[in-house]
């Protein structure tokens, strides 16, 4: 193996075994070295411009990691966020992300994305950070996630939104005042209130 290959692999190891091509080049790995490492089977091209060491341990949420790294403004939302929080019985077939309306449209080969374009106020409300595999990512908190599902009920399904609310209201950490605050932001307060009254 070339010296440049060994050096590149060490750089990947120091960066949690995964790098965007721009990060790799900035760290001193040439595009040619990236290509050669993919050809030799030492690197896996996860999606356009994103590479992972072939021998690395698999990520606990492998479909979400490429999205986190490739789209810095992405906020995990809707069914993907419900699934993360255990507030749905649905199995996501794509990754749901929120982006501000003026953001550039992402270009990704994999995984499939469902994008929710939000106004700046709605986009910023309720963002929190979680960590998986030493990688931090943005996700809406539980209350905002449930309200978003009512807001986007025509795309997600009213049954999914109602189930999420039912499961949320059963959790010991439920916060109804906070839930109603996010319902106001999402303009679904009048829609969600009767369900809360019926379920509490």
pTM, rounded to two decimals: 0.74
Give yes or no: residues 172 and 95 share one domain: yes
Looking at the fold, whether 90 and 37 belong to one and the same domain comes out as: no
Residues 33 and 97 placed together within one structural domain of the fold: no
Q: Is the peptide bond before 111 cis (omega within 30 degrees of 0)?
A: yes
Whether the pLDDT of residue 85 is over 70: the answer is yes
Choosing from 53, 74, 95, the residue where a domain stops is 53
pLDDT tops 90 at residue 69: no
Q: Which two tokens stand for residue 115?
A: 């994008």
What phi and psi, each to the nearest 5 degrees, are found at residue 50?
-140, 125
Same domain? For 48 and 76 the reply is no
> In this predicted model, what pLDDT tens digit does every residue of 174-189 receive, in sequence order?
999 999 999 999 999 9
Query: How much is the mean pLDDT over the chain?
Result: 88
Q: Nearest to residue 147, comparing CAs of 77, 64, 91?
A: 77
- DSSP assignment letter at 192: H
- Domain match, 27 and 98 both: no
Percent pLDDT > 90 in the chain is: 50
Indicate if 112 and 166 belong to the same structural domain.
Answer: yes
Residues 25, 82, single domain; the answer is no
Distance CA 9, CA 22 (A): 16
Could you give the number of structural domains in the chain? 2
Residue 58 is classified by DSSP as P
156 and 184 belong to one structural domain: yes
Mind listing the pLDDT tens digit for each residue in 99-125? 999 888 888 777 889 999 999 999 999
Range of the domain at 34: 3-53
Domain membership flag for residue 58: no
CB distance 15 to 9 below 8 Å: no
């Amino acid at each position: 193996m070339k010296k440049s290959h060994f050096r590149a692999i060490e750089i990947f190891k120091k960066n949690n075994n995964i790098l965007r091509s721009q990060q790799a080049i900035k760290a001193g790995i040439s595009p040619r070295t990236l290509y050669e490492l993919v050809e030799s089977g030492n690197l896996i091209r996860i999606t356009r411009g994103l590479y992972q060491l072939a021998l690395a341990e698999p990520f606990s949420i492998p479909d979400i990691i490429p999205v986190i790294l490739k789209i810095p403004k992405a906020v995990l939302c809707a069914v993907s966020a419900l699934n993360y929080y255990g507030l749905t019985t649905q199995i996501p077939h794509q990754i749901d992300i929120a982006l501000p309306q003026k953001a550039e449209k992402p270009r990704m080969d994999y995984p499939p994305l469902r994008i929710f374009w939000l106004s700046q106020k709605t986009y910023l409300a309720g963002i929190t950070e979680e960590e998986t595999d030493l990688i931090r990512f943005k996700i809406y908190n539980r209350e905002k996630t449930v309200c978003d599902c009512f807001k986007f009920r025509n795309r997600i399904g009213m049954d999914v939104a109602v189930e999420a609310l039912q499961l949320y209201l059963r959790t010991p950490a439920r916060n109804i005042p906070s839930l109603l605050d996010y319902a106001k932001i999402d303009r679904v307060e009048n829609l969600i209130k009767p369900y809360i009254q019926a379920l509490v």
